[in-house]
Chains A and B, each alone.
Chain A
Amino acid sequence: MLCRRILPCLDVRDGRVVKGIKFQGLRDAGDPVELCKAYQAQGADELVILDVSATPEGRGHQVEVIEAVRAILSIPLTVGGGVRAADDARRLLDAGADKVGVNTAAVITPEILSEMARRFGSQCTVIAIDAKRRDPDDPSQGWDVVIRSGKENTGLDAVEWARQAADLGAGEVLLTSWDRDGTRAGYDLALLTAISEAVDIPVIASGGAAHVGHLVDAFDAGADAVLAASIFHDGELTVGELKDDLAEAGVEVRR
């Protein structure tokens, strides 16, 4: 039986981890390699590295970070941030990424998805969608796709966009709730259900998790995997402990 996946996520800026987590025994919480090693040892199913560098110079570290992480990582690695063209994805895959996420560029030029799927395969092609409720209190009004780190509302319907991205060749959806991100109020479950029913490809839930109950809810709502960042930030909860709790709640996980 296919397991539900836990994907810790690292935000990296200029080659350093932003909001580094102070795990026990970790010498340098800002070193992406050290942090990836720790997550892997804890039992993370995959890792996600998002490059949040504000400048092309900062992003210049991206390839060397991925190469260094790949050398020690024996689980899948998804990389995103600043991918504008299929050739950008090629560079990240050559450096050692297994999958590449595209967000803004796919909205502006949807063909990037079909080109990536054709050249590298759908299994490498992740569509990252940031979705914002039209009415914060009423999910029946639907969700808009926002881009450029939320600065721009495209007016695109998030469910329709997910369907179109899957048709173009995306193999997985990384779905972030713009309303819930950073709130620790739990995932937007209505959004998860709407998207996971609209597409056949797996859906990764992101935005809002604070405790194991939120993860169980996300899986019940249709998520195949969950991205978690802030849930680990205080360093008190490990991936392994989280998986123990999930297993106890009846969720199939890899241990």
Chain B
Amino acid sequence: MKEVALLNTGVANIASVRAALLRLDVAVRFVEDASSVVDADALVFPGVGAFGAGMERLRQDGLARALQTRFAAGAPTLAICLGLQLLFEASEESPGVDGLGIVDGTIRRFPRDVRTPQFGWNSVEAAPESRYLTDGHAYFANSYACVEPPDGWAASTSTHGVPFVAAMEKGRLLACQFHPEISGPWGQEILRRWLFDEEA
């Protein structure tokens, strides 16, 4: 049976991610150490909460370096919500805090004239070169987002006041601003395709 490692930083709420993976008939193993992060065949990197607190946790136990190593190697990895944001260099949410710096750019706050947090279902337009996404509706819960699609990644987009990156992919690396684990059958399919590397 295929096994997926689920990075448990203790701050993210991961019961829904675990349940969604179990529905794909795979084994789920919680991991919280750097060597498992580097070595896992497939890793899910979830995250909720603030950028600064998330980075503070990753700086412990060498997790930040392990994630940088894993992404540099292009090993199958799914980052969710704050997990996507932490890949960047910085965020307006926590000025002065260095992100993982795996992707160039800064995470921005949504404009003041739209409801924040963005809570709920928004439409996603899949990037033409996307491997894992199709057009559909995704469940979001975020106040900050990547508004400048990074070079070298296939960026699927949504709009909340401004266009922003709903998901970005490069090879076996997939980062979703939305929560695929609670985005209905559409989200469940994205998880399946990423896990088994099937093209949409």
Contacts and interface: CB of A to CB of B under 8 A. Distances in A.
Tell me, yes or no, whether A binds B. Answer: yes
Interface of A: 1-3, 5, 40, 45, 70-71, 73-77, 93-98, 119-124, 171-172, 200-202, 224-225, 254
Given A71-B22, A76-B182, A98-B182, A121 B48 contact: yes
Contact of B160 (A2, A45, A73, A98): A2
Contacts of A70: 15-16, 19
22 contacts: A1-B159, A2-B120, A2-B121, A2-B160, A40-B184, A70-B15, A74-B181, A74-B184, A74-B185, A75-B182, A76-B139, A77-B16, A96-B16, A97-B15, A98-B182, A121-B49, A123-B117, A171-B141, A201-B115, A201-B117, A202-B115, A202-B117
A70 B19 CA distance: 7
A76 B137 CA distance: 13
Interface string B181-200: 11111011000000000000
Given A74-B181, A98-B182, 19 more contacts: A1-B159, A2-B121, A3-B120, A3-B123, A5-B121, A40-B184, A74-B20, A74-B187, A76-B139, A77-B182, A93-B13, A96-B19, A98-B13, A120-B13, A123-B142, A124-B48, A201-B119, A224-B119, A224-B120
Interface string B115-151: 1111111110000000000000101011000000000
A93 B15 contact: yes
Interface of B: 11, 13, 15-16, 19-20, 22-23, 48-50, 115-123, 137, 139, 141-142, 159-160, 179, 181-185, 187-188
Contacts of A2: 115, 118, 120-122, 160
| Main SS class of interface, B | mixed
A124 B185 CA distance: 22
Contacts of A74: 20, 23, 181-185, 187-188
Contacts of B117: 122-123, 171, 201-202
Contacts of B188: 74
Contacts of A121: 13, 48-50
A96 B141 contact: no
B122 A1 contact: yes
Contacts of B160: 2
Contacts of A73: 19
A123 B137 CA distance: 19
Contact of A202 (B120, B122, B179): B120
A17 to B, nearest CB: 21
A5 B184 CA distance: 14
A2 B141 CA distance: 11
**Nearest 9 CB-CB pairs, A to B?**
A123-B141, A96-B15, A121-B49, A3-B121, A254-B137, A254-B121, A121-B48, A202-B119, A76-B182
Identify the interface centre among B13, B179, B182, B188: most chain A CB within 10 Å of its CB.
Answer: B13
Contacts of B184: 40, 74-75
Contacts of B123: 1, 3
Contacts of A76: 16, 139, 179, 182
B79 to A, nearest CB: 16
A5 B49 contact: no
Nearest to B48: A121
Contacts of A71: 19, 22-23
A94 B188 CA distance: 20
A123 B23 CA distance: 24
B184 to A, nearest CB: 5
Contacts of A254: 121, 137
Give the interface centre of B15, B142, B160, B188 by most chain A CB atoms within 10 Å. B15
